[in-house]
Amino acid sequence: MVTVPPSGPPSPAPQISGNSAQAQNNALSGDFDTFLKMLTIQMQNQDPFNPIKSEEFAVQLATFSGVEQQIKTNKLLETLAGGFSGNSLVQLAGWVGMEARAQMPARFAGSPVTIFPAPHQDADQAVLVVRDVTGAEVSRSAIGLSGAAVEWAGVSESGQPFPPGIYSFSVESYKEGKSLGTKHAEIFATIREVRLEDDKAVLVMDSGEKVTAEDITALRTPG
């Protein structure tokens, strides 16, 4: 098993310069408006005894449609370039099947879950709190202050195993009995899918949780 920190978000896909695209759109929009005005004036002032031939009118309409389509195409390309500026779906697809570490819930299926807590640096006491999918607290236990990984066996104080499901983990830090805050703990989960949502690439984990590439702190091969 190899664990490596992710090398940051993959290299951005080629994108259109914002200034260049905007300038091009402005130019096309200007030409479009000018053409429309000229066509209107031409129709208003045509010789009623010698009107524009249908063939000529068809050519002008085709030109009109071409300019309009070019404007729409450029705007679409600019939108796509902006949407993929952070993470390329093609490159992130290479992460599918790997295990990623982040602050997120875990799917418990009977096997112990490895948790990576991060107690406050000034704490003299740390408590691991486990909650089920409804947010109800199911377990609370003291842990060390070093930040070393801990195993959650998924059993109650009486030794009864908790039912399979989604569980979240957080660490409460205290100093001299006073709270220093609560922080979500990290776990490893398998990446099942990469999606584009709201112009941003997200990773879908085996628990169903969605995280961004920027939220991943480590990657490792399963096994």
If you write DSSP's letter for every residue of 9-48 in order, what string do you get?
A: SPPPPP---HHHHHHHHHHHHHHHHHHHHHHHHHHHTS-T
The domain boundary residue, chosen from 83, 111, 135: 83
| Pairwise CA distance, residues 166 & 197, whole Å | 23
Answer positive or negative: Cα dihedral of 49, 53, 59, 64. positive
- Position 12 in a domain: no
Tally the domains of the chain: 2
Same domain, 151 and 208: yes
Q: Quick one: 148 and 210 in the same domain?
A: yes
Same domain for 105 and 53?
A: no
Domain limits for position 93: 88-223
Q: Is residue 3 part of a domain?
A: no
Higher pLDDT, residue 183 or 77: 183
Helices 18-44 and 54-83 cross at an angle (nearest 10°) of 160
User: Does residue 2 form part of some domain?
Assistant: no
Range from 11-25, 45-59, 204-218 carrying the lowest mean pLDDT: 11-25
Read off the amino acid at residue 112: P
Amino acid 86: pLDDT: 45
Which residue, of 59, 83, 107, is where some domain finishes? 83
Q: Do 172 and 63 belong to one domain?
A: no
pLDDT, residue 29, reads 53
Pair 53, 163 in one domain: no
- pTM score, whole prediction: 0.58
Residues 176 and 125 in one domain: yes
Q: Confirm whether 28 is domain-assigned.
A: yes
Q: Quote the tokens at residue 31.
A: 């030409």
Confidence of residue 48 (pLDDT cuts 50, 70, 90): confident
Summarised one tens digit per residue, pLDDT across range 88-107 is 677 788 889 999 999 999 99
Is the model's pLDDT at 9 over the cut of 50?
Answer: no
Amino acid present at 121: Q
C-alpha closest to that of 193 among 182, 183, 201:
201
Same domain, 75 and 122: no
Same domain, 65 and 175: no
Last residue of a domain, one of 58, 83, 108: 83
In a domain? residue 5:
no
